[in-house]
Amino acid sequence: MKDILRYKNILLSIIIIAVSIFVIKGLWTKHSLIIKDLEKKMSDVEKGKLLIEKWNKVSNEYDGLKKNFFMKDQEFFKNFLEEKTKNYGINVTYLSPTRKQENFYSEMSFSLRATSESYATIVNFLNALEEKKVIIEILKVRGAENKKRLADITVKSFIIEQ
């Protein structure tokens, strides 16, 4: 017992150091878990920022598409065609619509027969249709009576459903 008492300070120091090591190890483990959790949350925040940036980019592209394509309905497309034919002095004698429904948009087609004074007028009319990204599917132009030009045209555009 005397031998043990002689080393009491050293034994007490060893016990204090051992307890301190266990306490520090426990604190370090807890601190490491907190840091890993924070790193995961920061990673999630970065992924969220990237998703928001992608969403904004897609949203801007969608807004651009809305400006270039017909957004309302068949009547809007028909009125657009009638306005352009009137502006270019083209006389429409036949106008027939067709519609093909898809998931979030519709394909809208109009077949029309028109007469014009010249080929140039028909070309200018077709150029004006590009304003709304109208696709010209069929175009047949031929001479008619009285030096007029007869055109059979099928145009197609898209109506984005809202």
* CATH code (residue 81): 3.30.70.60
In this structure, are 117 and 154 located in the same domain?
yes
Domain that holds residue 45: 2-68
- Kindly report the pTM of this predicted structure: 0.53
Domain boundary among 68, 92, 117: 68
In this structure, are 136 and 86 located in the same domain?
yes
In this structure, are 28 and 54 located in the same domain?
yes
Sole residue written with tokens 């034919």: 85
In this structure, are 133 and 62 located in the same domain?
no
pLDDT in tens, 45-88: 999 999 999 999 998 887 777 766 655 677 787 888 888 888 88
